[in-house]
């Protein structure tokens, strides 16, 4: 194995930031970019004179609704490290997008609002991390606002997220009296000055009992800090990096992302303890990042990264070897060799052409319809990376063309947006009508908005009462055709032409399952 490859792998940190909407995830992402020198002014300036929005939320509808609906990828260098952040949609209607993103990262930072604590969405995402033993760091945010007692928050994190925690920094008061954070990991005191643009002062303290602490934060707070720290040492075991890497213990940091406070402490500790790219499980075997041969998989497809050019981009996570521009790679699913002349790396919206990429990096490849989510690229080996599910939708609507002159644009828009995996398209075989299935109401709005603004196509939604879409298969052709004859009004195909049964109630579905024992019903299509 080449030394260069090893060095590049060791210095990479690829992670996702996940949280409930409004916990401050996008702000934290932006502050990390600020420290990486990737942006020079924080976009959190929301005065009317300066209309800047956070660099990671670049889709129009996100700016309007203030939520992240697309996963953006940002890379930057920090000291000797190359950091790749994947910012995920916090909104629950886009949970599926986030699940897929979690297959492409080596660790996760969870943002929790000090006042609201752990919310449903965060719990679900933690389950996905637990399934994959992904190491987790928790950032408790918004300490400059009134919130709950830090010890209560720690208890709640342990109960709700079912993981042991270990504070590596500790707040001195919260809300209006918030004075700063003591950094347990590096033994230093960070004093808080509320400001969105400057970074607070750091005082190195080798001993908490020194009178210096009293001078800086006042005697009462100094005494409480010492008491708290003693309690922490008594209650929580020493921080152990290996148990963090195994996903058994989550280090906790406190701060205020909006005020750029506590963020650098988080980042400095993160680059030291977080894992570099790890082996990835393919169907055939486990693939080690240090292998010489390149391999990677598509975990996301995004239409219209640039509204001036109607193009899609496939996001490829490099799993092993080195990706090189213009080299020949095998697209495993369709057996073709492909070359990529303009692969890009992202700094939010700014794309740069890259000549090479290493394990842990995310490369954007211009896509004219060759890729599907879950596709694998290799140097010839037939590998299939697994575990990118697409769940059965829970809400359905007919999509109709509202402007007959724009039928072509509408078709193209629907096709590209469905390739992104934001929603699923079913075509009813009985009447040929198109049905869109999503996991949440917000997705219908996003689709309608994007069709209009990115493709110039107008659509309207019509109600349809459906309970579930199930993919069906059978080894018995007669049974399959008998089922399709009996249920012909409820049969459809998905965008890949697979048979789908649209059950209009739970009862109908159960009856179908018992009447047709030779048919297998699936509620998720493994891509």
User: What does the DSSP 8-state code read for residue 426?
Assistant: E
Query: What is the C-alpha to C-alpha distance for residues 165 and 152, in angstroms, rounded to an integer?
Result: 12
Residue 287 lies in a domain: yes
Hey, how many other C-beta atoms are within 10 angstroms of the C-beta on 489? 11
In a domain, 162, yes or no: yes
Choose one of 249, 273, 297: the last residue of a domain: 273
Q: Which two tokens stand for residue 277?
A: 């790219």
Q: Tell which residue, 353, 336, 328, 180, has the closest CA to residue 254.
A: 180
- Domain of 71, CATH number, reads 3.40.50.300
Tell me how far apart the alpha carbons of residues 347 and 36 are, in angstroms, rounded to a whole number.
Answer: 11
Q: Supply the CATH number for residue 512's domain.
A: 3.30.70.3280
CB atoms within 10 A of CB 162: 11
- Identify the DSSP state of 431: T
Q: Are 375 and 301 in contact (CB under 8 A)?
A: no
Q: How far is CA 289 from the centre of its chain?
A: 21
Q: What pLDDT shows up at residue 198? A: 53
> What phi-psi label fits residue 173: left (phi over 0), alpha (psi between -120 and 50 degrees) or beta?
left
pLDDT of residue 69: 40
453 φ, ψ (degrees, to nearest 5): -85, -25
Does the pTM surpass 0.85? The reply is no
Return the SS3 of 373.
coil
The pLDDT tens digits of the residues spanning 289-336 come to 889 899 999 888 776 555 555 567 888 999 999 999 889 999 988 889
Domain encompassing residue 343? 280-378
Least confident of 26-30, 307-311, 369-373, 496-500: 307-311
Helices (H) and strands (E) in the chain, counts: 14, 33
Same domain, 158 and 114: yes
139: β partners: 111, 253
Residues 365 and 481 in one domain: no
Between these two residues, 220 and 388, which has the higher pLDDT value?
220
105-145 tens-digit pLDDT = 899 999 998 888 888 778 877 877 887 788 999 999 888 88
**What is the maximal distance between C-alpha atoms in the chain?**
85
Total structural domains within the chain: 3
**Within a domain: 77:** yes
* Residue 302 pLDDT: 74
C-alpha atoms less than 13 angstroms from C-alpha of 506 in its C-beta half-sphere: 1
Give me the helix-helix angle, 120-131 and 95-102, nearest 10°: 30
Q: Clarify whether residues 266 and 328 are in a common domain.
A: no
Residue 226 has pLDDT above 90, yes or no: no
**Rounded to 5°, angle at Cα 283 from 339 and 132:** 105
């Amino acid at each position: 194995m080449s030394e260069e490859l090893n060095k590049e792998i060791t210095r990479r940190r690829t992670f996702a930031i996940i949280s409930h909407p409004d916990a401050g995830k996008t702000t934290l992402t932006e502050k990390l970019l600020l420290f990486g020198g990737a942006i020079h002014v924080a976009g959190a300036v929301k005065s009317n004179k300066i209309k800047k929005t956070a660099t990671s939320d670049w889709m129009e509808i996100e700016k309007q609704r203030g939520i992240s609906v697309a996963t953006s990828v940002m890379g930057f260098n920090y000291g000797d490290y190359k950091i790749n952040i994947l910012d995920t949609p916090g909104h629950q209607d886009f949970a599926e997008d986030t699940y897929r993103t979690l297959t492409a990262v080596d660790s996760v930072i969870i943002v929790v609002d000090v006042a609201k604590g752990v919310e449903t969405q965060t719990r679900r995402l933690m389950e996905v991390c637990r399934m994959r033993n992904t190491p987790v760091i928790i950032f408790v945010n918004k300490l400059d606002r009134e919130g709950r007692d830090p010890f209560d928050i720690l208890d709640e994190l342990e109960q709700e997220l079912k993981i042991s925690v270990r504070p590596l920094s500790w707040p001195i008061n919260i809300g209006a009296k918030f004075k700063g954070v003591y950094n347990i990991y590096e033994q230093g005191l960070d004093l808080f000055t509320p400001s969105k643009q400057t970074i607070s002062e750091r005082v190195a303290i080798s001993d908490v009992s020194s009178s210096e602490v009293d001078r800086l934060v006042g005697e009462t707070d100094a005494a409480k800090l010492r008491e708290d720290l003693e309690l922490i040492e008594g209650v929580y075991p020493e921080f152990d990096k290996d148990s963090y890497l195994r996903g058994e213990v989550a280090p906790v940091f406190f701060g205020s992302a909006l005020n750029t406070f506590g963020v650098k402490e988080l980042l400095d500790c993160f680059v030291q303890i977080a894992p570099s790219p790890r082996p990835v499980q393919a169907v055939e075997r486990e693939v080690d990042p240090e292998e010489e041969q390149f391999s990677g998989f598509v975990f996301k497809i995004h239409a219209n990264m640039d509204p001036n050019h109607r193009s899609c981009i496939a996001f490829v996570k490099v799993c092993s070897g080195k990706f090189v521009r213009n080299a020949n790679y095998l697209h495993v699913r369709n057996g073709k060799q492909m070359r990529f002349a303009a692969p890009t790396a992202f700094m939010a919206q700014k794309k740069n052409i890259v000549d090479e990429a290493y394990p842990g990096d995310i490369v954007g490849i211009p896509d004219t319809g060759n890729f599907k989510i879950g596709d694998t690229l290799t140097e010839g080996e037939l590998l299939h990376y697994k575990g990118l599910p697409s769940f059965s939708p829970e809400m359905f609507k007919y999509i109709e063309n509202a402007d007959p002159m724009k039928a072509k644009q509408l078709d193209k828009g629907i096709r590209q947006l469905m390739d992104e995996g934001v929603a699923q398209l079913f075509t009813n075989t009985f009447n040929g009508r198109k049905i869109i299935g999503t996991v949440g109401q917000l997705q219908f709005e996003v689709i309608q908005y994007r069709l209009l603004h990115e493709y110039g196509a107008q659509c309207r939604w019509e109600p349809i009462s459906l309970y579930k879409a199930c993919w069906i298969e059978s080894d018995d052709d007669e049974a399959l055709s008998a089922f399709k004859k009996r249920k012909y009004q409820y049969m459809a195909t998905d965008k890949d032409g697979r048979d789908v049964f649209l059950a209009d109630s739970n009862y109908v579905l159960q009856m179908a399952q018992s009447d047709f024992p030779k048919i297998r019903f699936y509620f998720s299509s493994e891509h």
